[in-house]
Amino acid sequence: DAGITQSPRHKVTETGTPVTLRCHQTENHRYMYWYRQDPGHGLRLIHYSYGVKDTDKGEVSDGYSVSRSKTEDFLLTLESATSSQTSVYFCAIRSGSTAYNEQFFGPGTRLTVL
Amino acid sequence: QKEVEQDPGPLSVPEGAIVSLNCTYSNSAFQYFMWYRQYSRKGPELLMYTYSSGNKEDGRFTAQVDKSSKYISLFIRDSQPSDSATYLCAMSVGTASKLTFGTGTRLQVTL
Protein backbone atom coordinates (compact mmCIF):
# COMPACT_ATOMS: atom_id res chain seq x y z
CA ASP A 1 0.00 0.00 0.00
CA ALA A 2 3.09 2.28 -0.28
CA GLY A 3 2.54 3.44 3.31
CA ILE A 4 -0.36 5.79 2.51
CA THR A 5 -3.22 6.36 4.92
CA GLN A 6 -6.18 8.67 4.57
CA SER A 7 -8.43 10.04 7.29
CA PRO A 8 -11.27 10.07 7.81
CA ARG A 9 -12.31 7.15 5.62
CA HIS A 10 -15.94 8.25 5.59
CA LYS A 11 -17.53 11.60 6.36
CA VAL A 12 -21.00 13.06 6.10
CA THR A 13 -21.29 16.80 6.44
CA GLU A 14 -23.68 19.62 5.66
CA THR A 15 -23.50 22.25 2.96
CA GLY A 16 -21.48 25.27 4.02
CA THR A 17 -19.32 23.55 6.63
CA PRO A 18 -15.53 23.35 6.33
CA VAL A 19 -13.98 19.93 5.83
CA THR A 20 -10.35 18.82 5.98
CA LEU A 21 -9.11 15.50 4.64
CA ARG A 22 -5.70 14.19 5.60
CA CYS A 23 -3.23 12.12 3.64
CA HIS A 24 -0.28 10.64 5.52
CA GLN A 25 2.71 8.82 4.06
CA THR A 26 5.54 7.07 5.84
CA GLU A 27 8.23 6.96 3.12
CA ASN A 28 9.27 10.60 2.58
CA HIS A 29 8.07 10.85 -1.01
CA ARG A 30 8.38 14.33 -2.44
CA TYR A 31 5.32 14.38 -4.71
CA MET A 32 1.80 13.94 -3.33
CA TYR A 33 -1.53 14.33 -5.12
CA TRP A 34 -5.24 14.68 -4.40
CA TYR A 35 -7.77 13.26 -6.88
CA ARG A 36 -11.53 12.96 -6.80
CA GLN A 37 -13.45 10.11 -8.43
CA ASP A 38 -16.97 10.52 -9.77
CA PRO A 39 -19.12 8.32 -12.01
CA GLY A 40 -18.63 9.20 -15.66
CA HIS A 41 -15.50 11.25 -14.96
CA GLY A 42 -12.94 8.81 -13.67
CA LEU A 43 -10.29 10.32 -11.43
CA ARG A 44 -9.48 14.00 -11.77
CA LEU A 45 -6.57 15.86 -10.22
CA ILE A 46 -7.48 18.53 -7.65
CA HIS A 47 -4.09 19.72 -6.35
CA TYR A 48 -0.61 18.34 -5.98
CA SER A 49 2.51 19.06 -3.98
CA TYR A 50 6.16 18.79 -4.97
CA GLY A 51 7.61 19.53 -1.56
CA VAL A 52 6.95 21.13 1.80
CA LYS A 53 4.96 24.33 1.21
CA ASP A 54 5.14 23.76 -2.59
CA THR A 55 1.75 23.11 -4.15
CA ASP A 56 0.00 23.67 -7.46
CA LYS A 57 -3.46 23.38 -8.96
CA GLY A 58 -4.87 20.52 -10.94
CA GLU A 59 -7.81 20.19 -13.29
CA VAL A 60 -10.61 20.70 -10.74
CA SER A 61 -9.14 22.93 -8.02
CA ASP A 62 -12.02 25.43 -7.57
CA GLY A 63 -13.45 25.22 -4.05
CA TYR A 64 -10.44 23.36 -2.67
CA SER A 65 -7.24 24.40 -0.92
CA VAL A 66 -4.27 22.35 0.21
CA SER A 67 -1.41 22.61 2.63
CA ARG A 68 1.78 20.71 3.22
CA SER A 69 3.73 21.77 6.29
CA LYS A 70 5.50 18.43 6.72
CA THR A 71 6.78 15.94 4.14
CA GLU A 72 4.51 13.21 5.44
CA ASP A 73 1.18 15.08 5.50
CA PHE A 74 -0.86 16.61 2.69
CA LEU A 75 -4.15 18.20 3.70
CA LEU A 76 -7.11 18.93 1.44
CA THR A 77 -9.61 21.53 2.68
CA LEU A 78 -13.08 22.30 1.43
CA GLU A 79 -13.61 25.79 2.86
CA SER A 80 -17.39 25.66 2.47
CA ALA A 81 -18.58 22.27 1.29
CA THR A 82 -21.17 22.01 -1.48
CA SER A 83 -23.21 19.03 -2.68
CA SER A 84 -21.17 18.97 -5.89
CA GLN A 85 -18.16 18.03 -3.77
CA THR A 86 -19.76 14.75 -2.76
CA SER A 87 -17.22 12.30 -4.09
CA VAL A 88 -14.55 9.77 -3.27
CA TYR A 89 -11.20 11.43 -2.65
CA PHE A 90 -7.92 9.65 -3.24
CA CYS A 91 -4.46 10.67 -2.23
CA ALA A 92 -1.46 9.44 -4.20
CA ILE A 93 2.31 9.57 -3.93
CA ARG A 94 4.96 9.36 -6.61
CA SER A 95 7.48 6.74 -5.71
CA GLY A 96 10.66 8.46 -6.91
CA SER A 97 12.33 11.65 -8.07
CA THR A 98 11.66 11.38 -11.81
CA ALA A 99 8.53 11.67 -13.91
CA TYR A 100 9.07 8.02 -14.81
CA ASN A 101 8.25 6.87 -11.29
CA GLU A 102 4.87 5.34 -10.59
CA GLN A 103 2.02 6.77 -8.56
CA PHE A 104 0.47 4.75 -5.78
CA PHE A 105 -2.90 5.48 -4.28
CA GLY A 106 -4.33 5.47 -0.80
CA PRO A 107 -7.57 3.73 0.21
CA GLY A 108 -9.79 6.77 -0.35
CA THR A 109 -12.17 8.97 1.66
CA ARG A 110 -15.85 8.83 0.87
CA LEU A 111 -17.36 12.28 1.45
CA THR A 112 -21.08 13.06 1.39
CA VAL A 113 -22.25 16.67 1.52
CA LEU A 114 -25.95 16.98 2.37
CA GLN B 1 -14.17 15.99 -25.94
CA LYS B 2 -12.22 14.32 -23.17
CA GLU B 3 -8.46 13.96 -23.52
CA VAL B 4 -8.73 10.25 -22.75
CA GLU B 5 -11.64 8.10 -23.90
CA GLN B 6 -12.41 4.68 -22.49
CA ASP B 7 -15.41 2.43 -23.04
CA PRO B 8 -17.16 2.15 -19.64
CA GLY B 9 -18.49 -1.35 -20.26
CA PRO B 10 -19.57 -3.36 -18.41
CA LEU B 11 -17.69 -6.14 -20.13
CA SER B 12 -18.65 -9.68 -19.20
CA VAL B 13 -16.47 -12.65 -20.23
CA PRO B 14 -16.23 -16.31 -19.22
CA GLU B 15 -13.32 -17.57 -17.16
CA GLY B 16 -10.30 -18.33 -19.33
CA ALA B 17 -11.15 -15.79 -22.01
CA ILE B 18 -8.74 -13.23 -23.40
CA VAL B 19 -9.82 -9.72 -22.49
CA SER B 20 -8.95 -6.60 -24.45
CA LEU B 21 -9.35 -3.19 -22.82
CA ASN B 22 -8.68 -0.03 -24.78
CA CYS B 23 -8.20 3.72 -24.48
CA THR B 24 -7.73 6.44 -27.04
CA TYR B 25 -6.27 9.84 -26.34
CA SER B 26 -5.99 13.16 -28.09
CA ASN B 27 -2.94 14.78 -26.47
CA SER B 28 0.10 13.70 -28.45
CA ALA B 29 2.36 15.04 -25.69
CA PHE B 30 1.49 12.21 -23.30
CA GLN B 31 4.68 10.34 -22.45
CA TYR B 32 3.79 7.78 -19.80
CA PHE B 33 0.97 5.25 -19.93
CA MET B 34 -0.46 3.24 -17.09
CA TRP B 35 -3.15 0.72 -16.33
CA TYR B 36 -4.71 0.59 -12.89
CA ARG B 37 -7.07 -2.01 -11.47
CA GLN B 38 -9.65 -0.91 -8.93
CA TYR B 39 -11.76 -3.25 -6.85
CA SER B 40 -15.03 -1.99 -5.45
CA ARG B 41 -14.54 0.57 -2.67
CA LYS B 42 -10.74 0.34 -2.89
CA GLY B 43 -8.01 2.60 -4.22
CA PRO B 44 -6.58 2.10 -7.71
CA GLU B 45 -3.72 -0.40 -7.87
CA LEU B 46 -0.99 -0.02 -10.49
CA LEU B 47 -0.89 -2.94 -12.94
CA MET B 48 1.28 -1.89 -15.85
CA TYR B 49 3.43 1.12 -16.69
CA THR B 50 5.15 1.94 -19.97
CA TYR B 51 6.54 4.96 -21.77
CA SER B 52 7.30 3.68 -25.25
CA SER B 53 5.37 2.33 -28.18
CA GLY B 54 5.19 -1.45 -28.37
CA ASN B 55 4.29 -4.23 -25.99
CA LYS B 56 5.16 -4.87 -22.37
CA GLU B 57 4.31 -8.17 -20.76
CA ASP B 58 3.93 -9.10 -17.10
CA GLY B 59 2.51 -12.52 -16.41
CA ARG B 60 -1.01 -12.72 -17.81
CA PHE B 61 -1.05 -9.00 -18.61
CA THR B 62 0.23 -7.28 -21.74
CA ALA B 63 0.18 -3.53 -22.22
CA GLN B 64 0.34 -2.18 -25.75
CA VAL B 65 0.99 1.41 -26.78
CA ASP B 66 0.62 2.82 -30.29
CA LYS B 67 1.63 6.46 -30.14
CA SER B 68 1.07 7.03 -33.86
CA SER B 69 -2.60 6.07 -33.47
CA LYS B 70 -2.92 7.48 -29.91
CA TYR B 71 -4.23 4.16 -28.70
CA ILE B 72 -3.35 1.96 -25.75
CA SER B 73 -4.56 -1.50 -24.83
CA LEU B 74 -4.40 -3.94 -21.96
CA PHE B 75 -4.74 -7.65 -22.70
CA ILE B 76 -5.54 -10.16 -19.98
CA ARG B 77 -4.93 -13.81 -20.84
CA ASP B 78 -6.63 -16.70 -19.09
CA SER B 79 -8.95 -14.34 -17.24
CA GLN B 80 -9.97 -15.31 -13.72
CA PRO B 81 -12.95 -14.33 -11.54
CA SER B 82 -10.44 -12.43 -9.38
CA ASP B 83 -9.81 -10.15 -12.38
CA SER B 84 -13.34 -8.78 -11.98
CA ALA B 85 -12.76 -5.10 -11.29
CA THR B 86 -12.72 -1.71 -12.95
CA TYR B 87 -9.69 -1.06 -15.16
CA LEU B 88 -8.51 2.51 -15.56
CA CYS B 89 -6.08 3.77 -18.14
CA ALA B 90 -4.01 6.80 -17.19
CA MET B 91 -1.37 8.90 -18.86
CA SER B 92 0.86 11.81 -18.02
CA VAL B 93 3.26 14.34 -19.44
CA GLY B 94 5.92 16.49 -17.82
CA THR B 95 7.93 16.39 -14.63
CA ALA B 96 4.97 16.75 -12.25
CA SER B 97 3.42 13.43 -13.35
CA LYS B 98 -0.12 14.78 -13.31
CA LEU B 99 -2.26 11.84 -14.35
CA THR B 100 -5.18 12.07 -16.78
CA PHE B 101 -7.49 9.10 -16.43
CA GLY B 102 -10.02 7.39 -18.60
CA THR B 103 -13.42 6.81 -17.02
CA GLY B 104 -12.68 3.12 -16.42
CA THR B 105 -14.04 -0.14 -17.86
CA ARG B 106 -15.89 -2.48 -15.53
CA LEU B 107 -14.95 -6.11 -16.17
CA GLN B 108 -16.85 -9.15 -14.92
CA VAL B 109 -15.30 -12.60 -15.34
CA THR B 110 -17.87 -15.33 -14.84
CA LEU B 111 -17.37 -18.97 -13.90
Summarize pLDDT for A40-95 with one digit per residue, the tens. Answer: 888 999 999 999 999 999 999 999 999 999 999 999 999 999 999 999 999 999 98
Length in residues, chain B: 111
Dist. CA A18–CA B107, nearest whole Å? 37
Q: What mean pLDDT is predicted for residues B74-99?
A: 94
Q: Which has the closest alpha carbon to A63: A81, A48, A45, A75?
A: A81
Q: What is the mean pLDDT of residues B59-86?
A: 96
Percent helix, strand, coil in chain B (nearest 5)? 5, 55, 40
pLDDT, mean of residues A30-41: 94
Of B42, B96, B103, Cβ closest to residue A41? B103
What is the reported pLDDT for A99?
A: 64
CB contact under 8 A, B44 and A90: yes
Q: Measured between beta carbons, which residues in chain A are less than 8 angstroms from residue B34?
A: 102-103
As a dihedral over the C-alpha atoms of residue B78, residue B80, residue B84, residue B88, rounded to 10 degrees, the angle is: -30
From A40, A41, A48, residue closest to B96, measured CB to CB? A48
Q: Does B95 touch chain A (CB under 8 A)?
A: yes
- B5 touching A (Cβ < 8 Å): no
CA atoms of B82 and A56, how far apart (whole Å)? 38
